[in-house]
Amino acid sequence: MNQWNYTDSMLAFLIILASTNSNTVILNESASMWYVSNNNMQIFVSKSDCRIRNIRINGIQILSSPVTISTPGFPSFPQRKIRDISLNNRSPYEITISCTEDLQNAQRIVEYTLDTLRFTIEVSFVKTTPGETELRIDYHLPVLENMQYVFFPNGDQPLPTKAADRRQLLYRKDIAVPCVSSYNKKTNCGITIFSPLEIDKPWLAFIVDRSNIVVSNRRLRLSSMNRVNTAITIVTHGGDWRPGLAYLLANYPDHFYPKSKHVIEGEGWYYLADAFDDDHQIQEASAAHTSWTEIHGHFPFYGLYVPEVKEWSIIFDSDNYDLIDWDKGLGRKKNNVTRMRQAIDKWHKQGIQVYLYFQCFEAWYRYALQYFQQSIAKDKYGNPLPGWKYTFLMNPDPEYEWGNHIVNQIAELLRVYQNVDGIFYDRMDYWHYDFDHEDNITFVDNRSAYTLALAQEKINGKIFDLLHQNGKGIWGNGPASIEVCKNLDGVMAERYKTNLFRLQYLTLVRPFIFLAYDREPRDTEEKLKNALLCGAFPSITMGTGFCKKLDEKYRPLFDLIRNRKWVLHEDPISIPENLLGNIYQTPGGDYVVILIDPNESQLSATNISYNVEIAVRVPNIEQINYAYLHSADWSGIRSLSIDKHNNAIYITLPQHTTASVVVLSQKQR
């Protein structure tokens, strides 16, 4: 633990007193230290080496040693020296301490900025000699000795700090929101550390290393021609992880909130349609209470979704034809603009919204080679990166010919299919490195490259704007990161429950769908339980018999979470350890508690749990007077008694088996 002399401790105490009733940032100093504080955080920065010696939250020390910023490849050589340390008291609401260091072959600038809500550490590098190299910047925050739990947004439950040791979660692969939370319930003290969304990240990981949370930025391109910027931001809260997500939601609304009211109004059960579905299939989908459908298979091949001709042959997922054959009209079947417009109208007559399949990454390899060779993404050996069947991955940066083609395709889609509701935007999960192009940020295996996820961020801005300006919506499949979700309307998780659990944090306030491809009753039940838990609507089952009965059993439960949003107050629910649960709020102000037992099934002998106790803590507890129980295991609604004390609502479920929903309401039903 850090040792503090009496002067430091007394000054810290006075800072706390001074800032208790002030919404400003205060700077004090001693002979050896700067002390910067806001209402609940105090930062102690050494004047001699500009290192953070301590951080206190509401007077509680959270560091067990100083913060370390390591840059492997640029160690502290004898030539290292601190050139300048400066203060920038920009306003009563923000103070920055800046340190410039001369290293061997590079200059490093470290800035500590505290405002009324957050603390940001930003590290910038400039190379002072010719050439380029890979840069790695790691932030080591020794906070875990004073915390009890670590939470990653990957769908797992919070882990005790010791159980989390040696865990590494890679951004875009393991997590889609770049953050980690750690907290102590006993002291009601917690922090969330995140990488600011406005900073590009070729490679980012969150690592638990004994007492440290390490935020590691790698594969950064450092040259004398560019300045590399990385940063972490720390926000404080109580002993829970939810307020950290609440901060991100409040400060990056465009990345979380949907733009299209159309998508919000159409949220519900999903049906995967083929362009050639007949009237009977459309009526069956309608009878299954489908709210919206994605039409696939309407286009000739990947990369060309709105041909210039009025009729075309369909040849995707096959290599039996070449471009000359296609130009001659050869293919499996033919499609045309008129029948597509009629198909869209048929779905609309059943009250079902229609989104046409589209994507920006994959192109039929023959098409790519013929017309877009300069945009093909390649591996470090110069080989095209493979995509889905018979496709190459393309670089969709709108400055390149392929990206420009994709933008033009969206414009054509809007012109040709004016009756469509929007697009189903597939393959938002690619984040490969393209070694045939450069983004001036990425450096891998001693070579400049282009992180494809960054290209998608660029093109998304253009095509999303076009669609929204024309009143259309966008459903996106499997986004790898929150950055590619900016202005996205709805998110799909496809096939695997790991995708569902990981992507749920992208949908705090936007519609969510789970496409499970379920054909067997056990798969259908798993789909329904997990989707309900994560606040997602499910796809219509592809099975028959009991699969359809299960869909019908769960349908009333999903109606309760339509247009829900996450409840992100601190510690809003307590449930038995053998259950999984979450809590949402509806547009009407009701709270909806979801409970599932991951080990119980309606398909086998079940163990009924009796007198299941839960607690709910929400800000307007005094207005909640009614509780109603819904279940997947029996029909009907049961009124429940509620007990209010200690700022919580306590409810006892008389029984629970596989899935239960408790609705807390201000109004009697």
Of the chain, the end-to-end C-alpha distance in Å amounts to 57
Q: Do residues 418 and 468 make contact, with C-beta atoms less than 8 angstroms apart?
A: no
Rounded CA-CA distance 145/156 in Å is 21
- DSSP states along 125-147: EEE-SSSEEEEEEEEEE--GGG-
Q: Is 300 helix (H, G, I), strand (E, B) or coil?
A: coil
Q: What is the CA radius of gyration of the chain?
A: 27
Residues 6+ apart with CB under 8 A from 216: 136, 137, 138, 139, 203, 204, 205, 206, 207
- Fill in the DSSP letter of residue 394: B
The HSE-up count of residue 571 (CA atoms within 13 Å, CB side) is 16
Please determine, for residue 4, whether its predicted confidence score (pLDDT) is greater than 70: no
Tell me which residue of 377, 477, 393, 387 sits closest to 428, measured CA to CA: 477
What is the predicted pLDDT for the residue at 79?
47
In 417-514, alpha helices (H): 452-469, 497-503
Dihedral sign for Cα atoms in the order 440, 254, 530, 261: negative
Outline where 252-336 has alpha helix (H): 253-256, 261-265, 279-287, 323-327
pLDDT at 617 over 90: yes
pLDDT band for position 104 (cuts 50, 70, 90): confident
pLDDT for the residue numbered 82: 65
Q: What is the mean pLDDT of residues 73-90?
A: 61
Is residue 168 scored above 80 in pLDDT? yes
Tokens 């109606």 map to which residue? 559
User: With the CA atoms of 507, 194, 114 and 246 taken in that order, what torsion angle do they form, in degrees rounded to the nearest 10?
Assistant: 20
- Is residue 486 within 8 A of residue 255, CB to CB? The reply is yes
Q: Which of 106-110, 336-340, 343-347, 497-501 has the lowest mean pLDDT?
A: 106-110
Distance CA 531, CA 221 (A): 40
Distances (CA, A) of 344 to 14, 284, 294, 474: 68, 16, 11, 16
pLDDT band for position 515 (cuts 50, 70, 90): very high
pLDDT digits (tens, 9 = 90+) for 455-470: 999 999 999 999 999 9
What pLDDT, on the 0 to 100 scale, is given for residue 19?
39
Percent of the chain whose predicted confidence (pLDDT) is above 90: 88
pLDDT, one tens digit per residue, over 342-397 is 999 999 999 999 999 999 999 999 999 999 999 999 999 999 999 999 999 999 99
The whole-number pLDDT of residue 310 equals 87
Given pLDDT bands bounded at 50, 70 and 90, which one contains residue 85?
low
519, 541 contact by CB (below 8 A): yes
The SS3 assignment for 530 reads helix
Q: Which residue has the tokens 């797992």?
A: 156
Identity of residue 240: D
The tens digit of pLDDT for each residue in 471-493 reads 999 999 999 999 999 999 999 99
For the CA atoms of 659, 661, 662, 663, what is the dihedral angle to 10 degrees?
Answer: 180
By three-state DSSP, how is residue 630 classified? strand
| pLDDT at residue number 652 | 97
Looking at residue 456, what is its pLDDT?
A: 98
HEC string for 23-78: CCCEEEECCCEEEEECCCEEEEEECCCCCEEEEEECCEECCCCCCEEECCCCCCCC
Query: What CA–CA distance (Å, rounded) separates 13 from 7?
Result: 10
pLDDT digit string, tens, across residues 407-437: 999 999 999 999 999 999 999 999 999 999 9
Cα(656)–Cα(283) distance, integer angstroms: 35
DSSP string, 153-215: TTSPPPEETTTTTT-EEEBTTTBSS-EEEEEETTTTEEEEEE--TTS--SEEEEEEETTEEEE
CA distance 550 to 536: 16
The answer to whether 297 and 276 have CB atoms below 8 angstroms apart is yes
Question: 311: pLDDT confidence band, cut at 50, 70 and 90?
Answer: very high
pLDDT digits (tens, 9 = 90+) for 570-590: 999 999 999 999 999 999 999
Contacts of residue 404, Cβ cutoff 8 Å, sequence gap at least 6? 398
Other CB atoms within a 10 A radius of the CB of residue 199 amount to 17
pLDDT of res. 16 = 37
For residue 357, what are its two tokens?
A: 């399949």
Length of the chain: 669
Using DSSP's 3-state secondary structure scheme, residue 376 falls into strand
What is the number of other CB atoms lying within 10 angstroms of the CB of residue 326? Answer: 21
**d(C-alpha 231, C-alpha 122), whole Å:** 4
- Residue entry with tokens 């398909």: 603
Contact 79, 103 (CB under 8 A): yes
CA dist., res. 53 & res. 3, Å (int): 10
pLDDT of residue 517: 97
Higher pLDDT, 88 or 174: 174
Mean pLDDT, the chain, integer: 93
Statement: residue 264 has pLDDT above 90: yes
22 pLDDT exceeds 70? no
Query: For the chain, how long is the longest CA-to-CA vector?
Result: 88
Query: In this predicted model, what pLDDT tens digit does every residue of 529-571 receive, in sequence order?
Result: 999 999 999 999 999 999 999 999 999 999 999 999 999 999 9
- The mean per-residue pLDDT over the stretch 650-659 comes to 96
Residue 451 above 50 pLDDT? Answer: yes
Helix, coil or strand: residue 554: helix
Question: Strand pairing of 179-184 and 189-194?
Answer: antiparallel
Phi, psi of 19 (to 5 degrees): -95, 0
* Surface-to-core class of residue 255, CB atoms within 10 Å of its CB (0-12 exposed, 13-18 middle, 19+ buried): buried
Strand partners, 99: 85, 110
Bridge partners of 477, per DSSP, are: 492
